Structure 1
Amino acid sequence: MTETFTERFAAGLAGYGDGQCIEFEGRWYTGDEVTAYADAIGAQLRAAGVDDDAPVGLVVRNRLPHAAAIIGFLAAGRAVSMIYSFQSPEAIGRDIETLNLSAIVADSEDWTDAVITAAKRTGSAGVALSVTAPTVTAVPGLERRDESRRHTEAEPDVALQILTSGTTGPPKRQSIKTRVLERTVFSVTSGEAAPPGAPPEFSYWQFGGIGVCQLIAGIYNGRRIVILERFTVDGWVNAVKTHGIKRSGVQPAVIRMLLDADVPKEDLASLDFLISASGPLDPETRDEFEARYGIAVKLAYGATEFAGSLCAWTPEMEREFGASKRNSVGRALPDTQLRIVDPDTGAEPPTGERGLVEAKIAAISDDWIRTTDIASIDEDGFVTLHGRADGAINRGGFKILPETVRRVLISHPAVRDACVVGVPDARLGQVPFAAVEVTPGLPVPTEDELEDMVRRSLPVYNVPVAFVMVDELPRNPALKVSLPAVAALYESRSKT
């Protein structure tokens, strides 16, 4: 009889025993300790009258207790719905009421009055987590679920619900089926098993979203895992140095931060390469990083709805095409079919032409799934990304791709980064607005200067109607620029 993913995952967890499993805040926790934590959470849920197959919500943080909760739920076959902890207590409460689950698990600091009130309204049991004793406790007033209430039941074969990063608006919740987690592991590891004594997996992306894939793949394959609660340059560099990390997935902003912090080359000496994902990395920053540190930066492409990567570079591809296809995110993974379609007609354009990406992955669906990513595929099957269609600005019938305008702006030596968004206009519907992150120590560019740059490089309708200069662009915990927050800068500017 073929083992299920749940059985293989549980076996991966059991395999650690008293050996190192997860390192958090400088301390290694053994497999037995992680299992004991997960078992304590399960026992608390049973004491609260929560059925073993009932889905629960997790107000998630990148901390040891939350990792143990996720691992325990997956090993037991219990579905878990992620709730971002970095929201306001009122927003967390709204998520709890929307989900209507039998129980909510959260860090003790997240059990605020607003969150407790929301859980009482839904009749959910409450479990509090802590890294210090008592580590797993019932929340006062929420010791048991209200059995007179009907709570959301498990969806067939759904293992977890993860969230998008919320770059363009409120995060969306994506259901990931158990069978899809097999391809999650494959997309993270490319099917390669790490040799004994290999450096640990490095997990610092938010567990509430696609970052949980690293945790899942690590446990499935019996790898040691190092967790950072949140990204800081010092924390990230220290983990790389301490554990001899060989590779790490990073957001483009991380590469810029490492350069700006002038991290000593020797501190990153263990790295063979970095994988840049979750957004566009401008070629100038990539070139500067590779020249300074001698560490290759590979481009990657994945999405929350696919629970992992769609494309990858293999060593063979690197040897043959590394130089000529430098700006590509690689070829489709073996289990993935990709095609480019016209957004209006659905027809496939000629090879090399741009359009929307559609993907078909047997583990997920027999149908083609359309993304909002604009890309092209060349004659050798290499995919190049060109921006997102859902960020396109319609200025009186003229379509503007924000990334195209951004690329012009960041070519200015005093512009470290930029973000272009559409803002409402009574006559044209939408117009572009730009927030510009200036480079410290250099003269701040004028609006006329930046307007002229765009006008000389692109058709005139691409020129932003206004600019605002900022020390730092507003970013969410996934280190992506928050488009609603940038749009709010325009509203603030308009009121002054």
Structure 2
Amino acid sequence: MPHNGGVTEGLTERFAAALHSYADRPCIEFDGRWYTGDEVVAYGAAIASLLETAGVPGDAPVGLIVRNRLPHAAAIAGFLAAGRTVAMIYSFQSAGAIAGDVERLNLAAVVADAEDWTEPVVAAAERTGAAGVAISLGTPPVVAVPRLEHRNSSHAHAPAEPGVALKILTSGTTGPPKRQAIATHVLERTVFSVTAGEKADGDAPPEFAYWQFGGIGVCQLIAGLYNGRRVAMLERFSVEGWVDAVKRHRVTRAGVQPAVIRMLLDAQVPAEDLASLEFLISASGPLDPETRDEFEARYRIPIRLAYGATEFAGSLCAWTPEMLDEFGKTKRDSVGRALPDTELRIVDAETGRERPAGERGLLEAKVGPLGPDWIRTTDIASIDEDGFVTLHGRADGAINRGGFKVQPEEVRRVLISHPGVRDACVVGVPDARLGQVPFAAIEVVPGADTPSDDELKSLVRQELPVYAVPVAFTTVDALPRNPALKVSLPAVAALYGAD
């Protein structure tokens, strides 16, 4: 398969060289077994060979119905090493929804686990003339899908996209995941933002990859392989699996979603099981101070807050050891300062004018590898006089209650201050008179009495304006979460009036 030209070719070749350098050494651990570099490379080569036999052009983008499994990791590595664009297709949806994605993407080929080649998906690929490749850990591990052995060359498929390495998925908090194109040369900043430029020797703990590969979690896999580190991966997060990996591999640092920190506390994981951890990095959503304080007090493991986004292919801010020494205690709630290739500013949502230090507004970023333009986020933030960024919620999550703006995170913070509430989520639901009104779902602390609606309303009314008080509450055993461990806002909204 041909490589893309220019700067892109350099990174592609460096990644390919790093991948081949493992040879017969351990490369990726999955499901209790280490796979060597030779095995990973051979898997990718088998996929490439089958695509060639199927008549798929070497520069044609392909789709991957992605899961956190060894064959999928090998496919991603092989595509990146060959300079072929890969578009991620969300596997945690119905067969009909996957089939819809296959038709909309109109790709020359689709690669998927054998279990995901359901009849609706096969039929969709057949209609678009795509070749189909089934991957598994069985024998043979790579096979053509019946009826999809050859690409139908009479179909006009999606064209080549030189310089685009990946089309990854957003986390899908507010709706179906969307795809974000990541240029190959931008992956250099991805590697840096994941590892802070750190290169470790062969005896170092492996890169720990458990976030879903369909989204920003793939960066952990790519960074580990690019830097020649072993990679330990989990198919899906579980407390037992995560703690087992930390113990066995003596992991020293890990990025976690806020929900993971709460789960570790609730599971009462013994402190000695996490003894190797020097710190955790909390990202992908707000971490309430009470949970952070409880975790740090119990385990004596500091938590650093981080901030990034899919569209930036990694982090925008970071804490360095020097910053921690000088500001770690006084600016504990900050996500750090902008990375060297990044400029940040706070602007007024209405006028676009830059706001003074310390004032809140929308965060905008200008990231060198992405180009010269300022990119506006939907995050409300402030930047102090020392350049430290603090997040204050999302502008697109605001509930417009008859012209009054309600910030769901502010209401959630009040609700979880109740001793009987373990977690909560607040969403806007339709109202014929006011347009939207806030509704809350709560998890109750195990063994505690469920607070009454009146009790919770009174609590919110004491702290926030009356228009912020939810109109109704529902109690759930666990808030509905997607594979990225983020609460699904549509799923919470669907609970309104369901009792």
**Shared fold (TM-score greater than 0.5)?**
yes
**Residue 464 of structure 1 aligns with which residue?**
470
Identity of aligned residues (%): 75
Deviation of residue 362 (structure 1)? 1.5
Which whole-Å deviations, capped at 9, do the CAs of 1:465-495 have from their partners, x for residues lacking one?
Answer: 11111110000000000000000001424xx
**Residue 142 of structure 2 aligns with which residue?**
136
**Residue 297 of structure 1 aligns with which residue?**
303
Which whole-Å deviations, capped at 9, do the CAs of 1:136-160 have from their partners, x for residues lacking one?
Answer: 0000110001110000012231111
Match status 1:45 vs 2:51: yes
SS where residue 176 of structure 1 aligns? strand
Match status 1:276 vs 2:268: no
SS where residue 4 of structure 1 aligns? helix
CA contact (8 A) 2:62 2:108 kept: yes
Q: TM-score, normalised by structure 1?
A: 0.98
Gaps of 5+ in 2: 1-5
SS where residue 17 of structure 1 aligns? coil
Q: Distance in 1 between matches of 2:83 and 2:202?
A: 28
Matches within 5 A, 1:418-429: 418-429=424-435
Q: Distance in 1 between matches of 2:497 and 2:217?
A: 32
**Residue 90 of structure 1 aligns with which residue?**
96
Match status 1:473 vs 2:479: yes
Matches within 5 A, 1:23-422: 23-422=29-428
Q: Which of 10, 27, 33 pairs up with 2:16?
A: 10
Q: Distance in 2 between matches of 1:445 and 1:150?
A: 59
CA contact (8 A) 2:210 2:233 kept: yes
Deviation of residue 13 (structure 1)? 0.3
Q: Distance in 2 between matches of 1:4 and 1:341?
A: 37
SS where residue 490 of structure 1 aligns? coil
Q: Distance in 2 between matches of 1:196 and 1:354?
A: 45
Q: Distance in 2 between matches of 1:27 and 1:156?
A: 36
Q: Distance in 1 between matches of 2:410 and 2:160?
A: 43
Deviation of residue 10 (structure 1)? 0.5
Q: TM-score, normalised by structure 2?
A: 0.98
Gaps of 5+ in 1: none
Aligned residue type for 2:106:
N
Deviation of residue 251 (structure 1)? 0.5
Q: Distance in 2 between matches of 1:424 and 1:444?
A: 26
Deviation of residue 85 (structure 1)? 0.8
Q: Distance in 2 between matches of 1:401 and 1:365?
A: 32
Q: Distance in 2 between matches of 1:23 and 1:392?
A: 42
Q: Which of 437, 445, 450 pairs up with 1:439?
A: 445
Q: Which runs of 4+ in 1 moved over 4 A?
A: none
Aligned residue type for 2:47:
I
SS where residue 370 of structure 2 aligns? coil
Aligned residue type for 1:488:
A
CA contact (8 A) 2:201 2:229 kept: no
CA contact (8 A) 2:206 2:251 kept: yes
Q: Distance in 2 between matches of 1:81 and 1:196?
A: 31
Deviation of residue 46 (structure 1)? 0.4
Deviation of residue 196 (structure 1)? 3.6
Aligned length: 493
Which whole-Å deviations, capped at 9, do the CAs of 1:64-101 have from their partners, x for residues lacking one?
Answer: 00000000000000000000111110010000001000
SS where residue 403 of structure 1 aligns? helix
Which whole-Å deviations, capped at 9, do the CAs of 1:359-400 have from their partners, x for residues lacking one?
Answer: 001211210000111110000100001111111011111111
**Residue 3 of structure 2 aligns with which residue?**
none
SS where residue 369 of structure 2 aligns? coil
SS where residue 35 of structure 1 aligns? helix
CA contact (8 A) 2:443 2:476 kept: yes
Aligned residue type for 1:105:
V
Task: Please give the root-mean-square deviation of Cα atoms over the aligned residues, in Å.
Answer: 0.9
Q: Distance in 2 between matches of 1:418 and 1:188?
A: 30
Q: Distance in 2 between matches of 1:280 and 1:135?
A: 41
Deviation of residue 454 (structure 1)? 0.4
